[in-house]
Amino acid sequence: MSDLLSAFLHLLLLFKLVAPVTFHHHRYDDLVRTLYKVHNQCPYITRIYSIGRSVKGRHLYVLEFSDYPGIHEALEPEVKYVGNMHGDEVLGRELLLQLSEFLCEEFRNQNQRITRLIQETRIHILPSMNPDGYEAAANKGPKIPGHLVGRNNANEVDLNRNFPDLNTYFYYNEKHGGPNHHLPLPDNWESQVEPETEAVIRWMRSFNFVLSANLHGGAVVANYPYDKSPGHRFRNAHSTTNSPTPDDKLFRKLAKVYSYAHGWMHQGWNCGDYFPDGITNGASWYSLSKGMQDFNYLHTNCFEITLELSCNKFPRQEELQREWLGNREALIQFLEQVHHGIKGMVLDENHHNLTGAVISVSGINHDVTAGEQGDYFRLLLPGTYTVTATAPGFDPLTENVIVHPGKPTLVNFYLKRSITQVNPAKKAPGGGQGSRVKAQPRITKKKDGARKQPHRGPA
Ligand SMILES: [Zn+2]
């Protein structure tokens, strides 16, 4: 009898060890429980925080992975994933929960690649930007594609049409001169956006994010900015015009990294559509105003793409495991892309941080700024570049830089105080995380001249 019992217990244990991970849809309470479960399993490399609440008061929880959770380490880039912005597009939400469990487990298993990723990167995961919409969609369950219950938030607003429109401002500046990055928010912007959008904008402004992806469904393609075409008109929203950013080659590469690491996205034929390489410029698919990815690029240092991950927006539970296996490598490889290009410190002669210093790359009309600790990150493809650092009251400094595939090139700038400065009291602000130094008119002129030079980057 005891032998039988022992055999039974042994079998039970064996079953437990080899039982596959269960894949199921997570309602809000289940999602929160899962995040805390991961945090409890990996307390030293994770942190949970809320960026705000939905219309119905649900917290928008973020799970952070880092070797020092809660702390920005200079020269360690910040990256984010956002899921479930459209409440009925649920695959991204489930994939981000799977990814969270995977990162934790593999770190515990001492997987070298994952350990290195977590040690060198601060990863922020927001599995659901629209928890109210999700609950409405989940009440209906998996359903016919195209049926839109739960797409919008509880105020019936599409959150991916709810960000301030900075494209129009940028297109004007491209022609007439003016800032090419960190375009300011309109006055009273808070009153013009939904609570979920406001929370995400404040989140974007409080971290110096470098790279991001926004996970959707209804197609299978990696979509890169701009989403809005310069000729976008409300009545002609279905017009299709390729609308590239100044960083078009880089965005195409980022999108391809995802599509080619994905199980089938790169094949191009999916859900009755064809996208060569499984990627598309947003506006060349359909023009969309007030979207999140354009806003990331125009208002912050962050390069965001939009990942459409499933034909059926609410796949059946049985499909989740296949989807996870199809996306797992792509989700990891995309995070690793943040370790490309150049990065470094911008400091004065006394080694003080020049927060908000502007980094310009000759031939690319899109600057980035240094963060709170004076560190900057500039994603670039391999090639040779002329890079200039500027800060008000300091002489600009230009370096020729070679970017290799693989690791980012470290380029520090030590700026000298300008002797001819008009106002000696003026110095770079060391203000809050959202504070930025506006590009000076002098820089804009220089960039206009620089644009005429041949870009010495890759063809
Ligand atoms: Zn969507």
Q: What local confidence, expressed as pLDDT, does residue 113 receive?
A: 98
Residue 57: Cβ within 10 Å count: 10
| pLDDT tens readout for residues 261-294 | 999 999 999 999 999 999 999 999 988 889 999 9
- Write down the catalytic residue from 308, 319, 329, 399: 308
Collect residues with CB below 5 Å from ion ligand 1.
86, 89, 216
Give which of 238, 292, 285 is closest to 80, Cα–Cα: 292
Residue 87: Cβ within 10 Å count: 29
336 belongs to the catalytic site: no
Q: How far is the CA of 111 from the centre of ligand 1 (A)?
A: 33
Q: How confident is the model at residue 453 (pLDDT cuts 50, 70, 90)?
A: very low
Q: How far is the CA of 307 from the centre of ligand 1 (A)?
A: 9
pLDDT of residue 13 exceeding 50, the answer is no
Q: How far is the CA of 85 from the centre of ligand 1 (A)?
A: 7
Distance CA 68, CA 72 (A): 8
State the number of CA atoms in the 13 A half-sphere of 243 facing the CB. Answer: 26
Q: Which residues contact 169 (CB under 8 A, 6 or more apart)?
A: 178, 183, 298
Distance CA 34, CA 39 (A): 9
Q: What local confidence, expressed as pLDDT, does residue 3 receive?
A: 59
Q: How confident is the model at residue 177 (pLDDT cuts 50, 70, 90)?
A: confident
| pLDDT tens readout for residues 223-276 | 999 998 887 764 455 667 899 999 999 999 999 999 999 999 999 999 999 999
Q: How far is the CA of 93 from the centre of ligand 1 (A)?
A: 12
- Cβ atoms of 364 and 251 within 8 Å: the answer is no
Q: How far is the CA of 306 from the centre of ligand 1 (A)?
A: 9
- How distant, in Å, are the alpha carbons of 104, 121, 183, 276, 349 from that of 217? 26, 27, 29, 18, 50
Q: How far is the CA of 408 from the centre of ligand 1 (A)?
A: 32
Q: How far is the CA of 314 from the centre of ligand 1 (A)?
A: 11
Q: Burial level of 14, CB count in 10 A (0-12/13-18/19+)? A: exposed
Q: Helix/strand/coil (H, E, C) string of the chain?
A: CHHHHHHHHHHHHHHHHHCCCCCCCCCHHHHHHHHHHHHHHCCCCEEEEEEEECCCCCEEEEEEECCCCCCCCCCCCEEEEEECCCCCCCHHHHHHHHHHHHHHHHHHCCCHHHHHHHHHCEEEEECCCCHHHHHHHHHHCCCCCCCCCCCCCCCCCCHHHCCCCCHHHHHHHHHHCCCCCCCCCCCCHHHHCCHHHHHHHHHHHHCCEEEEEEEECCEEEEEECCCCCCCCCHHHCCCCCCCCCCCHHHHHHHHHHHHHHCCCHHHCEECCEECHHHEEEHHHHCCCCCCHHHHHHHHCCCEEEEEEEECCCCCCHHHHHHHHHHHHHHHHHHHHHHHCCEEEEEEECCCCECCCCEEEECCEEEEEECCCCCEEEECCCCEEEEEEEECCCECCEEEEEEECCCCCEECCEEECECCCCCCCCCCCCCCCCCCCCCCCHHHHHHHHHHHHCCCCCCC
| pLDDT tens readout for residues 115-135 | 999 999 999 999 999 999 999
Task: Judge if pTM exceeds 0.85.
Answer: yes
Q: How far is the CA of 97 from the centre of ligand 1 (A)?
A: 18
| pLDDT tens readout for residues 397-431 | 999 999 999 899 999 999 999 987 555 444 433 33
Distance CA 423, CA 441 (A): 16
Phi then psi dihedrals of residue 365, to 5 deg: -85, 55
pLDDT of residue 189 exceeding 90, the answer is yes
Phi then psi dihedrals of residue 434, to 5 deg: -85, -10
State the number of CA atoms in the 13 A half-sphere of 410 facing the CB. Answer: 4
Q: 220: which 2 tokens?
A: 């299978």
The CA angle 308-311-314, to the nearest 5 degrees, is: 95
| pLDDT tens readout for residues 124-172 | 999 999 999 999 999 986 666 556 789 999 999 999 999 999 988 888 8
The whole-number average pLDDT for the span 211-219 is 97
Give which of 63, 52, 33, 201 is closest to 132, Cα–Cα: 52
Q: How far is the CA of 196 from the centre of ligand 1 (A)?
A: 15
The whole-number average pLDDT for the span 439-456 is 33
Give which of 288, 312, 210, 206 is closest to 254, Cα–Cα: 210
The amino acid that residue 216 corresponds to is: H
| pLDDT tens readout for residues 82-126 | 999 999 999 999 999 999 999 999 999 999 999 999 999 999 999
Q: Burial level of 65, CB count in 10 A (0-12/13-18/19+)? A: buried
Residue 267: Cβ within 10 Å count: 15
Q: How far is the CA of 157 from the centre of ligand 1 (A)?
A: 13
